A and B are shown apart, each in its own frame.
Chain A
Amino acid sequence: NAGVTQTPKFQVLKTGQSMTLQCAQDMNHEYMSWYRQDPGMGLRLIHYSVGAGITDQGEVPNGYNVSRSTTEDFPLRLLSAAPSQTSVYFCASSRGGQGTLPLHFGNGTRLTVT
């Protein structure tokens, strides 16, 4: 049982490039979400999904796209990378319901945009 798997672990992009951060979970969780972690700011929600085919914006969605075609996968796309998107990105999942259940986090992708 791998839990939440994120790839790649590290990535360096030039301004304007695009890329996709991959996230997969093998726990059959309904809920999946993407957060970015910046020093002194905690984690901020980018996008989230309550099930396959359903996504919604979080607190800081600009510059990012998501889709959820399967229960297992929730990729995050950077459309045109900017230095402000330098951050550590975490994918998380949880079972469905009223939101009382804890999130399971991946180990993160450290992204640098030059």
Chain B
Amino acid sequence: AQSVAQPEDQVNVAEGNPLTVKCTYSVSGNPYLFWYVQYPNRGLQFLLKYITGDNLVKGSYGFEAEFNKSQTSFHLKKPSALVSDSALYFCAVRAREGYNQGGKLIFGQGTELSVKP
């Protein structure tokens, strides 16, 4: 069965410091991996994705993520955190199990990122 784990419910970072939000996954075959961000009382917004190719992917707002196949991880990173980065972050996976699997994402539990000035 497919699954995604975000081992930290909350991550606290000082503004200007680097941040990492962790994600590990379990899926048969090669995955499609995504990060989304949710601000209060809003829907999720797409940040970045890994489909194939370079293991380091760059996304919106200065975020990047590194795909590590051997560790089945896809950690989200940013070199210098901003207070405005404070939000709920979700990792998600979709297995490459054929056509017409769009819309079927498996989400992690979410990690609350708090960036203090």
Interface size range of chain A in the complex = 20 to 34
B102 engages A4 (CB within 8 Å): no
12 chain-A/chain-B pairs, Cβ below 8 angstroms: A40-B109, A42-B4, A42-B108, A43-B90, A50-B100, A58-B104, A90-B43, A96-B100, A98-B99, A98-B101, A100-B32, A102-B49
Question: Nearest-CB distance from B99 to chain A (Å)?
Answer: 6
B102 engages A31 (CB within 8 Å): yes
CB contacts between A and B, total, < 8 Å? 83
Q: Which residue of chain A has the shortest Cβ distance to B4 in the bound complex?
A: A42
Give Cα A99–Cα B92 distance, bound, in whole angstroms. Answer: 12
Interface centre among B51, B101, B104 (most CB of A within 10 A): B104
Q: B102 touches which one: A42, A50, A90 (CB < 8 A)?
A: A50
B104 engages A48 (CB within 8 Å): yes
* Interface residue? A113 (CB, 8 A): no
B102 engages A96 (CB within 8 Å): yes
Give Cα A28–Cα B96 distance, bound, in whole angstroms. Answer: 24
* Interface residue? A78 (CB, 8 A): no
* Binding site secondary structure of chain B: loop
Interface size range of chain B in the complex = 20 to 34
Give Cα A58–Cα B41 distance, bound, in whole angstroms. Answer: 24
Question: Nearest-CB distance from B82 to chain A (Å)?
Answer: 22
Give Cα A43–Cα B38 distance, bound, in whole angstroms. Answer: 12
Give Cα A43–Cα B43 distance, bound, in whole angstroms. Answer: 11
Give Cα A98–Cα B13 distance, bound, in whole angstroms. Answer: 37
A49 engages B103 (CB within 8 Å): yes
* Interface residue? A71 (CB, 8 A): no
B109 engages A42 (CB within 8 Å): yes
B102 engages A99 (CB within 8 Å): yes
B43 engages A105 (CB within 8 Å): yes
Give Cα A6–Cα B41 distance, bound, in whole angstroms. Answer: 13
Give Cα A30–Cα B102 distance, bound, in whole angstroms. Answer: 9
CB neighbours (8 Å) of A94 from chain B are 102-103
Question: Nearest-CB distance from A1 to chain B (Å)?
Answer: 15
* Interface residue? B57 (CB, 8 A): no
* Interface residue? A77 (CB, 8 A): no
